[in-house]
């Protein structure tokens, strides 16, 4: 792969000279190193995909085989997305490269079917990834639901037998040995919704003993339940590495509510749990409409029979749930045939009440953006020192976070609102997630680190995407390098495939 990339570099890179070695000089850079420290001017020398040395401007070597003149632009570590969906073997991740993302974390929300559930498990997926090549780096996780299925445990099972527990732990250990960084949970989804305390603790023991990480979509993100949900997560691994995915407070409002949640999490850290979180910078979530349904209506329940036997009870529940979540105008469908319509609009066109419309679709009837969060709470959570950034996006998702998250970080939080310094914002997207995932060779610009880099002018960064037009790529991230090779330039992905499947270090 490295030889092929060297040949490809002839047409991808700006530079002159023979390829006696694989070196790249980035000159006239304004470096933001990912630690949160102040910017400094420098020239960077990259050799064989690694930052070899850092020099005062104009003092770098003159004989590098390739060169990029940064022209006073910011050079930062490539962004590390802590919560991503999709399969880069089967899909283009160009929308992520356009945001400056060079590493994604896959296998989230309890499902790692494409990574660990297919032919040959994680080792088989890594082999396929190596054969095709990856546009960016991948951090693989083992999904709890996928581990459950591989262990032969039916979805509706609650209390596990000793044999089932042992099979669950054995399957997780096998994944970790194959290179998984840890366990993802989706406790609001099937089958995670059925997992009881003993099952979670048994998995937490495996994670703690291997110093892996637990990353969870929690049992509930509702205002009245979120602290209990974090407490359940911490109880899985009281001395372990525990991470809250897309931290939020549904229905909660105001800075005081955010402060209270952050103080609660700080208290858990004081007891010894290494507790962190990530957020996406939007006030609407995006998930399946199954989140509106009661547990007793979720698979493996016979939904047709349930409609016949408990339809009035279901409609009453759904009506109250929809109202509680802001009403039918606060749900915007992202899947066909209703993509771009609110629940209010779709139900009216169908001549049905909103609850009846949702009931007819069923818990697996589509996905939507749910406008259930308070902007003040989101902003306060994002600013916390232990909270990193993520997209919770994919190449196809109809939510602006999938195409705009990191551009929004720069354009809105730094340039427009001045809520974060540029150095602090970059740290949340680079050094902090690298610390959380224990990536010893990424997330910071210094000698010996992988040359995953993004070159841009902050004032030129634009989010572009919206809820109505969610697939508009970000602009302003001029050059994105993965492993020292240009993966994105001139507003398009290059043919380079220098991404790696990373390993826990």
Q: How confident is the model at residue 63 (pLDDT cuts 50, 70, 90)?
A: confident
Q: What is the pLDDT of residue 17?
A: 29
The residue ranges of every structural domain in the chain are 79-283+380-440, 287-370
pLDDT in tens, 90-132: 999 999 999 999 999 999 999 999 999 999 999 999 999 999 9
Under 8 Å between Cβ of 91 and 395: yes
The answer to whether residue 234 scores a pLDDT higher than 70 is yes
Mean confidence (pLDDT) of the chain: 94
Q: Has residue 11 got a pLDDT over 70?
A: no
Query: Could you tell me the end-to-end alpha-carbon distance of the chain, in angstroms, rounded to an integer?
Result: 23
Phi, psi (rounded to 5 degrees) for 303 = -70, -35
136 in Cβ contact with 113 (< 8 Å)? no
Over residues 313-364, the pLDDT tens digits come to 999 999 999 999 999 999 999 999 999 999 999 999 999 999 999 999 999 9
Mean pLDDT, residues 437-441 taken together: 97
State the pLDDT at residue 60: 83
* Percent of the chain whose pLDDT exceeds 70: 96
Nearest to 97 by CA among 461, 458, 454, 468: 454
Closest CA to 91 of 127, 134, 124, 128: 134
pLDDT at 88: 98
Can you tell me the distance from the alpha carbon of 68 to that of 380, in angstroms, rounded to the nearest whole number? 38
pLDDT at 376: 97
pLDDT of residue 199: 98
Minimal CA–CA distance to 299: which of 143, 193, 196?
193
Q: Which of the four pLDDT bands, split at 50, 70 and 90, describes residue 62?
A: confident
Q: How confident is the model at residue 218 (pLDDT cuts 50, 70, 90)?
A: very high
Q: Is the per-residue pLDDT at 15 higher than 80?
A: no
The answer to whether residue 447 scores a pLDDT higher than 70 is yes
**Residue 377 parent element (H or E):** helix 375-383
Burial 150-176 (b: 16+ CB within 10 A, else e): bbebeeebeebeeebbebbbebbebbb
pLDDT, one tens digit per residue, over 273-292 is 999 999 999 999 999 999 99
Whether 302 and 269 have beta carbons less than 8 Å apart is answered as no
Mean pLDDT score, 439-449? 98
Q: d(Cα 74, Cα 40) in Å, to the nearest integer?
A: 10
Kindly tell me if the per-residue pLDDT of 505 is higher than 90. no
Instruction: Kindly state which CATH superfamily the domain 79-283+380-440 is placed in.
Output: Metal-dependent hydrolases (3.20.20.140)
Cis geometry, peptide bond prior to residue 191 (ω within 30 degrees of 0): yes
Instruction: Render pLDDT for 465-503 as a digit per residue (tens, 0 to 9).
Output: 999 899 999 999 999 999 999 999 999 999 999 999 999
Q: What is the pLDDT of residue 21?
A: 57
């Amino acid at each position: 792969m490295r030889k092929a990339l060297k040949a490809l570099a002839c047409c991808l890179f700006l530079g002159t000279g023979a390829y006696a070695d694989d070196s790249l000089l980035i000159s006239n850079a304004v470096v933001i190193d990912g630690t949160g420290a102040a910017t400094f001017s420098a020239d960077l020398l990259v050799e064989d995909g690694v930052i070899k040395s850092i020099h005062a401007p104009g003092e770098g070597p003159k004989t590098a085989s390739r060169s990029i003149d940064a022209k006073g632009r910011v050079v930062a570590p490539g962004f590390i997305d802590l919560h991503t969906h999709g399969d880069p073997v089967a899909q283009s991740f160009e929308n992520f490269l356009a945001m400056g993302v060079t590493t994604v974390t896959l296998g989230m929300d309890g499902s790692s079917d494409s990574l660990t559930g297919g032919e040959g498990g994680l080792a088989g997926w890594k082999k396929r990834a190596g054969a095709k090549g990856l546009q960016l780096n991948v951090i693989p996780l083992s999904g709890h639901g996928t581990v459950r299925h591989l262990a032969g445990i039916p979805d509706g099972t609650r209390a596990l037998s000793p044999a089932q527990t042992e099979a669950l732990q054995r399957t997780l250990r096998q994944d970790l040995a194959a290179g998984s960084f840890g366990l993802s949970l989706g406790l609001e989804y099937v089958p995670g919704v059925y997992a009881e305390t003993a099952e979670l603790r048994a998995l937490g023991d495996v994670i703690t003993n291997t110093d892996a990480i637990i990353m969870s979509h929690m049992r509930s993100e509702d205002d009245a339940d979120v602290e209990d949900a974090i407490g359940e997560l911490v109880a899985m691994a009281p001395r372990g590495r525990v991470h809250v995915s897309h931290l939020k407070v549904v229905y909660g409002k105001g800075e005081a509510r955010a402060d209270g949640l952050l103080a609660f999490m700080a208290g858990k850290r004081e007891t010894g749990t290494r507790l962190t979180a990530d957020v996406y910078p939007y006030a609407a979530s995006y998930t399946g409409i199954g989140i509106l349904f009661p547990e007793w209506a979720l698979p493996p329940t016979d939904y047709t029979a349930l409609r016949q036997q408990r339809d009035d009870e279901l409609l009453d529940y759904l009506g109250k749930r929809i109202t509680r979540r802001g009403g039918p105008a606060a749900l915007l469908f992202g899947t066909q045939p209703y993509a771009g319509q609110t629940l209010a609009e779709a139900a009216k066109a169908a001549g049905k009440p909103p609850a009846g419309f949702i009931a007819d679709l069923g818990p697996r009837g589509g996905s939507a953006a749910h406008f259930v969060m308070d902007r003040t709470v989101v902003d306060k959570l994002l600013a916390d020192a232990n909270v990193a950034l993520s997209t919770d996006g994919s190449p196809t998702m109809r939510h602006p976070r999938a195409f705009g998250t990191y551009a929004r970080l720069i354009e809105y939080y730094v340039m427009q609102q001045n809520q974060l310094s540029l150095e602090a914002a970059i740290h949340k997207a680079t050094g902090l997630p690298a610390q959380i995932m224990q990536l010893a060779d990424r997330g910071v610009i210094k000698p010996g680190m992988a040359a995953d880099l993004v070159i841009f002018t902050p004032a030129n960064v634009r989010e572009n995407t919206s809820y109505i037009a969610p697939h508009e790529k970000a602009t302003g991230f001029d050059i994105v390098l993965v492993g020292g090779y240009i993966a994105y330039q001139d507003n398009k992905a290059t043919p380079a495939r220098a991404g790696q499947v990373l390993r826990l270090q």
